[in-house]
Amino acid sequence: MRYWPLTPARATQILSDPALVTTGPLNSNPDLRVRLRHHFCWLLPLLLAACSAPVTKPDATDPTPDPLAAAEAALTAGNWLDAARRFEQLALQPQHAPPAAGALRLQAAEAFAHAGDYLSLQRLLLPLEPADLTLDQRLQRQILLALPLQRDPVALLAALAKPAAISADATLLARFHGLRADARIQQGERLAAARELQSQISYLAADSELTRDRQRQLWRQLQQMPEQQLQQAVAAPSERSDEAITLHGWLNLALLQRRSGGDDELLALQLLGWLRDYPTHPARQQPPAELQHHLGGAVGRHHLVVLLPLSGRYQRAGVALRDGILAGYYATPIAERPLLTLLDTAADPSRIADLYALAAAQQATLLLGPLDKDVVAQLRTLPQRTIPVIALNEYGAAGSDSFYQFSLAPEAEARQVAERARLAGYRRALALVPEGEWGERLLQAFVDHWQRLGGTLLESATYSAQESDFAKPIKALLNLDDSEARRSTLIRQLGERPQFEPRRREDAELIFLAAYPSQARLLQPQIRFHHAAGLPIYATSHLYSGQPDPDRDRDMDGIRFADMPWTLQQTSQAGDVPLLSRHPGSLQRLVAFGVDAWRLGLQLDRRGQLLPQPLAGSTGELSLPPGAFTVVRRLNWSQFVRGVPKPLPPLLPQPEVVEEPAALVAPPPTTTQ
């Protein structure tokens, strides 16, 4: 048999060209060449370490060469048996005590292993006591003693059942798992082999040729697994370690390819979801040969499908929202614009499943919408929903990392009113809301949050939005009706009309007001008339039309209210887009809503993550609390001064939430006009 003289340079050449390792039949056996190349990888660090180790050269006049230098020279030259015997002789010298003697024996054993002399290897290592070795040396001894068992996978796996010691040496751990992986491959245990290969890869340099070779072997093992076994492996619970997540990504990738059945378009669509789920997976940089084209083609292909009522009852709202989305679309650089499709949900809201199927067939990567609350509910209950969604209304608490909610819910504004008032130091509140379901929702949201923050609701009253005289509910709210009742009693008792001025209740500190502009312009003057001019009024954005109108809004002077930057600052973050001018007044808020919906959709679709940091949006500061799936809008605060909203500074810190307030009672009885 012919052997090549082996030096570090020669070993490097062999690693780059496995055909040079030997001649004859091995050249026609690629798998054997890969395994041989794998074993040479463990030799090269040893050779380089030997070459770099300081050697004390003997004096030129000393005829006796240094034994250690001679052993290392033989190792460098690839004279395995000579090197092994020299290291063994050094280990037997009395001046070498443990663990130095153990290190020399292990070096000799490594050389015997390369020479194929496993009997000498065992003769050297079996007498070694683990207690005389370091932790790394114990693991190295275990690995070397397992080498003679490579043709007996059962025996090798028993010998390497677990590491003999806890070691931090990545090279030894990679070697340990590599031997176990080869044994599993011999047994035909594909999944177990893939696990061991991934363990080995986790200890290798990410960009090494050996890493790429072992990744290719891992992929071949998964390709040979039955589809049912792949499905079970993907569905089985797994650890959250980087190693386990990476293996799970390989399994998912193999299953997607198998299920595609050769359908390139279906595979490309499925790979988009895989890319979102595994943003740092090594297959993204080094995809399997079969998926090179598909993965490359899938990257960057984004398709946003918008679900809105573009006809019917909610057409005006849907069109305004659509125009905001289009404003964001046109403000996005052309090279960064995804494909955009608009689907009308108003034709038949009950057919949301069909619209979802259509979006899936069009390879949608994200759904924006729907807007109607009932349609949102239907979409949430669809089985096997895989396309991420940002719904533009709220229906219950969102609880899925693929289903988010973003809305202009009035309840959220009422809660912010409660927070602002508590930050200002108030505790005792009155509430005045319109009759009907909308007023009830705002009142309940305000009361619930107000009490959680430690506040007390003294009384609430409702008014009819169709009336213009609100004296009755205002008097009831301020207890002026009680004062007038006392006056009537005095008149009956005294028989004369004494001088009298009604007095409102003195325990209230503020009024929470829910109203639209036409009612708010009448309510504020009447509240002042009824002796409550000094009582602060806090309101939601609904009392402001969205357009400056000082002459008409002067009657609302003093009212503090929360609103979005879009209306308060009269600026557009989407640029100067002519289509925005077609939506006057309060519809501008829906245009701003569309602009922010576009920005959120673009962020989630590109990054696979929504709001990792707060976003200064057109509708407010947008954020997503940890573990939540409903976007939070933080509004700006203003106060009417001479009919014009003037900005108010933020109040800090946030109020402390009272988890178990002393009296969480239902709102006081409501007085109705």
Q: What is the mean pLDDT of each run of 10 residues along the chain (673 residues)?
A: 38 40 39 44 44 43 71 90 92 81 92 94 92 92 95 96 87 95 96 96 90 94 94 88 92 91 70 69 83 56 86 92 87 76 82 90 89 92 89 80 90 97 96 97 97 96 95 91 57 58 84 97 94 93 92 96 88 46 79 94 82 91 91 96 94 54 36 42
Alpha-carbon torsion (323, 324, 325, 329), positive or negative: positive
3-class secondary-structure state, position 462 = strand
The 10s digit of each residue's pLDDT in 203-217 is 998 878 999 999 999
The domain defined by 302-405+578-619 folds into Rossmann fold (3.40.50)
Pull the structure tokens for residue 30: 């690629």
Instruction: Give the pLDDT confidence score for residue 605 in this predicted structure.
Output: 78
Evaluate whether the domain defined by 410-564+635-672 bears CATH number 3.40.50.970.
no
Alpha-carbon torsion (643, 645, 650, 654), positive or negative: positive
3-class secondary-structure state, position 546 = coil
Measure the CA–CA gap between 327 and 534, rounded to whole angstroms. 44
Instruction: Give the pLDDT confidence score for residue 500 in this predicted structure.
Output: 53
Instruction: Give the pLDDT confidence score for residue 98 in this predicted structure.
Output: 78
Amino acid at 670: T
Instruction: Give the pLDDT confidence score for residue 24 in this predicted structure.
Output: 38
Measure the CA–CA gap between 138 and 584, rounded to whole angstroms. 79
Spell out the residues 6+ positions from residue 462 whose beta carbon is closer than 8 angstroms to its own. Answer: 432, 433, 434, 435, 439, 473, 670, 671, 672, 673
Instruction: Give the pLDDT confidence score for residue 141 in this predicted structure.
Output: 95
Measure the CA–CA gap between 34 and 11, rounded to whole angstroms. 15
Measured between alpha carbons, how far is residue 308 from residues 305, 316, 323, 365, 392 in Å? 10, 11, 11, 17, 9
Measured between alpha carbons, how far is residue 226 from residues 195, 223, 230, 251 in Å? 16, 8, 6, 12
Whose structure tokens read 């919408």? 369
Instruction: Give the pLDDT confidence score for residue 654 in this predicted structure.
Output: 52
Instruction: Give the pLDDT confidence score for residue 10 in this predicted structure.
Output: 41
Instruction: Give the pLDDT confidence score for residue 263 in this predicted structure.
Output: 75
Instruction: Give the pLDDT confidence score for residue 351 in this predicted structure.
Output: 87
Instruction: Give the pLDDT confidence score for residue 486 in this predicted structure.
Output: 58
3-class secondary-structure state, position 608 = coil
**Stretch(es) of the chain classified as CATH 3.40.50.2300:** 302-405+578-619, 410-564+635-672
Measure the CA–CA gap between 503 and 530, rounded to whole angstroms. 9
Task: Give yes or no for a contact between 441 and 373, defined as CB atoms under 8 angstroms apart.
Answer: no
The 10s digit of each residue's pLDDT in 500-533 is 566 778 899 999 999 999 999 999 999 999 888 8
User: What is this structure's pTM?
Assistant: 0.54
